[in-house]
Amino acid sequence: MRFRTFPLALACVAMLAGVSARADFNPIPQPNAAYTSSTTLIDISGIPDGTTGIASVTDGTQTVSFDQSLEKGTVGAGWATWNSPPAVESSTPPVLFRVSTNSLTLSLSVLSTTFGFELQGNEDTVSSQFLVTFLDNALNPVGNVNLLVNGNAGALLFAASTTTSPFSRVTIDNTSLDADGFAIANLRYTAVPEPASIAMVAQAIVAVGFYGWRKRRQMNAEV
């Protein structure tokens, strides 16, 4: 049901199934400090609860677009339950949700080496299977994460990183077809550095190396 009014403390059931993936595809099981400190959160808390027709969210750098419009809510106001740390970042996050759907595609405006979000199904009486697939810029699968998520206080993190195949699109599929929609929260990413930024870093490294070389040369000349 869409508006669950009695959030129950029911333990989540999770299963990570073996799937084909590229060698550098690394699923991230929990939002630990390393994950949160190395990623940027797209903050949706400023969107009023009850806002419908949301086609994208952005932080000014990364824009995540959805192939179906979503609605904004907050756990406790429009969406009743979530999970608790360490499985998720917070037990009362702002969420984006859609009911009566089995899939959603997220398109990233900026290629990202890490991308993730928390997810929970809408049906609070079942545990539903969710398959999240991460695709590269050519829309080839890089890898996927397959988890069993309890619809009552069982939200889990779906996140992964890569070193050679940055993500441009992510698909969500409720493969068990029994969740009656779902909510996502805490969208995070690490953007691929722009070529100009890489060049600046390289120039800085060269400059530091040259300064060190010149300093050593001067010291040797004074000896």
CA pair distance 126, 148, nearest whole angstrom = 10
pLDDT tens digits for range 151-178: 999 999 999 999 999 999 999 999 999 9
Look-up of token digits 């360490």 = 86
Please name which of 118, 119, 113 lies closest in space to residue 142, comparing C-alpha atoms: 113
Could you tell me how far CA 34 lies from the centroid of its own chain?
14
Domains in the chain, number? 2
Task: Report which of residues 137 and 199 the model is more confident about.
Answer: 137
Question: Same structural domain for residues 48 and 150?
Answer: yes
Domain annotation covers residue 83: yes
Domain annotation covers residue 54: yes
pLDDT tens digits for range 210-222: 445 555 556 566 5
Quick check: pTM over 0.95?
A: no
Look-up of token digits 């779902």 = 182
Q: Which residues are CB-neighbours of 72 under 8 A, at least 6 positions away? A: 44, 47, 48, 49, 50, 51, 52, 54, 78, 94, 95, 96
- DSSP letter assigned to residue 32: -
Domain that holds residue 122: 26-192
Domain annotation covers residue 50: yes
Tell me the two tokens of residue 8. Answer: 């129950």
Domain annotation covers residue 121: yes
Residue 84, class by beta-carbon neighbours within 10 Å (0-12 exposed, 13-18 middle, 19+ buried)? middle
Question: Same structural domain for residues 115 and 72?
Answer: yes
At 145 the three-state DSSP class reads strand
- DSSP letter assigned to residue 77: B
Question: Same structural domain for residues 51 and 74?
Answer: yes
Domain annotation covers residue 208: yes
| pLDDT interval class at 195 (50, 70, 90) | low
Question: Same structural domain for residues 49 and 126?
Answer: yes
Question: Same structural domain for residues 54 and 137?
Answer: yes
Question: Same structural domain for residues 141 and 71?
Answer: yes
Could you tell me how far CA 111 lies from the centroid of its own chain?
13
Domain annotation covers residue 19: no
Domain annotation covers residue 163: yes
CA pair distance 24, 163, nearest whole angstrom = 6
Would the pLDDT of 67 be above 80? yes
Q: Which CATH number fits the domain that encloses residue 114?
A: 2.60.120.260
Question: Same structural domain for residues 81 and 164?
Answer: yes
Question: Same structural domain for residues 159 and 209?
Answer: no
- DSSP letter assigned to residue 193: P
At 89 the three-state DSSP class reads coil
pLDDT at 201: 36
Please name which of 120, 165, 156, 174 lies closest in space to residue 138, comparing C-alpha atoms: 165
Cβ 96 vs Cβ 42: under 8 Å: no
